[in-house]
Structure 1
Amino acid sequence: MTNETLGDGSPGTGARTGWTREQASRIERTEDTVAPIVYPPETDQIPEVHIWDTWFLRERDGTLASVDGYRVCFSLTAPSDLLPGKRHDVATIRCFYSDDGRTWHDAGPVFEGALGQRQWAGSALYDDDGSAYLFYTAAGEEGSEDLTYTQRIVGASGGRIDTAGGFELSGPWTHHELLTPDGERYEREDQSRGMIYTFRDPWFFEDPGTGETWLLFEANTPVPEGSDACGGDAALQAFNGSVGVARSPTGDPLEWELADPLLDAVCVNQELERPHVVYRDGLYYLFVSSHLHTFAPGLEGFDALYGFVAEDLRGEYVPLNDSGLVATNPENAPFQSYSWMAFPHGEEVLVQSFFNYYDFAGETLDEIAHLSGAEQMRRFGGTLGPTLRLDVAGTRTRILGALGHWHIPLAGEELPPTDRELIRRGKASENGETGAGYGARPADRDADSE
Structure 2
Amino acid sequence: MDGDSLGDGSPGFGARAGWTREQAGGIERTADTVAPVFYPPEHDQVPEVHIWDTWFLRNRDGTLAEVDGYRVCFSLTAPADLLPGKRHDVATIRAFYSDDGRNWHNAGPVFDEALGQRQWAGSALYDDGDVYVFYTAAGEDGADELTYTQRIVGASGGTIHTGDGFELHGPWTHHDLLRPDGERYEREEQSRGMIYTFRDPWFFEDPATGETWLLFEANTPVPEGSDACGGDAAQQEFNGSVGLARSPTGDPLEWELADPLLDAVCVNQELERPHIVYTDGLYYLFVSSHQHTFAPGLEGFDALYGFVAEDLRGEYVPLNDSGLVVTNPVNAPFQAYSWMAFPHDDEVLVQSFFNYFDFAGASLDEIAHLPEAEQMRRFGGTLGPTVRLDAEGARTRILGKLGHWQIPRAGESLPPTDRELIARGQAGETDRYHSSD
Q: Which 5+ residue runs of structure 2 have no aligned equivalent?
A: none
Task: Report if aligned partners of 1:429, 1:435 keep a CA contact under 8 Å in 2.
Answer: no
After the TM superposition, which residues 286-365 of structure 1 pair with which residues of structure 2 at under 5 Å, given as runs? 286-365=285-364
Give the Cα–Cα distance (whole angstroms) in 1 for the partners of residues 201 and 25 of structure 2.
29
The alignment partner of 2:320 has SS state of helix
What's 1:57 paired with? 57
| Superposed displacement of residue 388, structure 1 | 0.2
CA change 1:431–1:106 in 2 (3 A) is farther
Alpha-carbon displacement from aligned partner over 1:324-375 (angstroms, at most 9, x marks no partner): 0000000010000000000000010000000000110000000000000000
Give the Cα–Cα distance (whole angstroms) in 2 for the partners of residues 194 and 329 of structure 1.
26
Give the Cα–Cα distance (whole angstroms) in 2 for the partners of residues 351 and 94 of structure 1.
20
What's 1:10 paired with? 10
Task: Report if aligned partners of 2:55, 2:74 keep a CA contact under 8 Å in 1.
Answer: yes
| Superposed displacement of residue 48, structure 1 | 0.2
Task: Report if aligned partners of 2:417, 2:435 keep a CA contact under 8 Å in 1.
Answer: no
Alpha-carbon displacement from aligned partner over 1:204-240 (angstroms, at most 9, x marks no partner): 0000010000000000000000111001110000000
Tell whether 2:83 aligns with 1:83.
yes
| Superposed displacement of residue 5, structure 1 | 3.3
Q: Which 5+ residue runs of structure 1 have no aligned equivalent?
A: 440-450
Identical amino acids, percent of aligned pairs: 83
Task: Report if aligned partners of 1:37, 1:437 keep a CA contact under 8 Å in 2.
Answer: no
Give the Cα–Cα distance (whole angstroms) in 2 for the partners of residues 15 and 426 of structure 1.
48
| Superposed displacement of residue 425, structure 1 | 1.3
After the TM superposition, which residues 246-257 of structure 1 pair with which residues of structure 2 at under 5 Å, given as runs? 246-257=245-256
Task: Report if aligned partners of 2:419, 2:433 keep a CA contact under 8 Å in 1.
Answer: no
Give the Cα–Cα distance (whole angstroms) in 2 for the partners of residues 435 and 340 of structure 1.
18
What's 1:275 paired with? 274
Task: Report if aligned partners of 1:23, 1:322 keep a CA contact under 8 Å in 2.
Answer: yes
- Taking structure 1 as the reference length, the TM-score comes to 0.95
Letter in 2 for 1:304: A
Task: Report if aligned partners of 2:95, 2:106 keep a CA contact under 8 Å in 1.
Answer: yes
Letter in 2 for 1:388: V
Task: Report if aligned partners of 1:36, 1:438 keep a CA contact under 8 Å in 2.
Answer: no
Task: Report if aligned partners of 2:285, 2:306 keep a CA contact under 8 Å in 1.
Answer: yes
Give the Cα–Cα distance (whole angstroms) in 1 for the partners of residues 183 and 155 of structure 2.
27
Task: Report if aligned partners of 2:309, 2:317 keep a CA contact under 8 Å in 1.
Answer: yes
| Superposed displacement of residue 435, structure 1 | 4.9
Tell whether 2:371 aligns with 1:369.
no
Alpha-carbon displacement from aligned partner over 1:2-49 (angstroms, at most 9, x marks no partner): 942311010000000000000000000000000000111011000000
CA change 1:352–1:182 in 2 (3 A) is same
What's 1:158 paired with? 157
Q: Paired residue for 1:436, among 408, 420, 434? A: 434
What's 2:29 paired with? 29
Task: Report if aligned partners of 2:20, 2:264 keep a CA contact under 8 Å in 1.
Answer: yes
Task: Report if aligned partners of 1:51, 1:354 keep a CA contact under 8 Å in 2.
Answer: yes
Give the Cα–Cα distance (whole angstroms) in 2 for the partners of residues 312 and 427 of structure 1.
41
When the two chains are superposed, the root-mean-square deviation of aligned CA atoms in Å is 1.4
What's 1:108 paired with? 108
- Taking structure 2 as the reference length, the TM-score comes to 0.98
| Superposed displacement of residue 431, structure 1 | 9.4
Task: Report if aligned partners of 2:399, 2:433 keep a CA contact under 8 Å in 1.
Answer: no
Task: Report if aligned partners of 2:65, 2:72 keep a CA contact under 8 Å in 1.
Answer: yes
CA change 1:314–1:54 in 2 (3 A) is same
Alpha-carbon displacement from aligned partner over 1:149-194 (angstroms, at most 9, x marks no partner): 0000000000000001110000000000000000000000000000
| Superposed displacement of residue 428, structure 1 | 1.4
What's 1:285 paired with? 284
- Tell me the matched-pair count: 436
Give the Cα–Cα distance (whole angstroms) in 1 for the partners of residues 76 and 428 of structure 2.
35
The alignment partner of 2:337 has SS state of strand
CA change 1:71–1:429 in 2 (3 A) is farther
Task: Report if aligned partners of 1:226, 1:232 keep a CA contact under 8 Å in 2.
Answer: yes
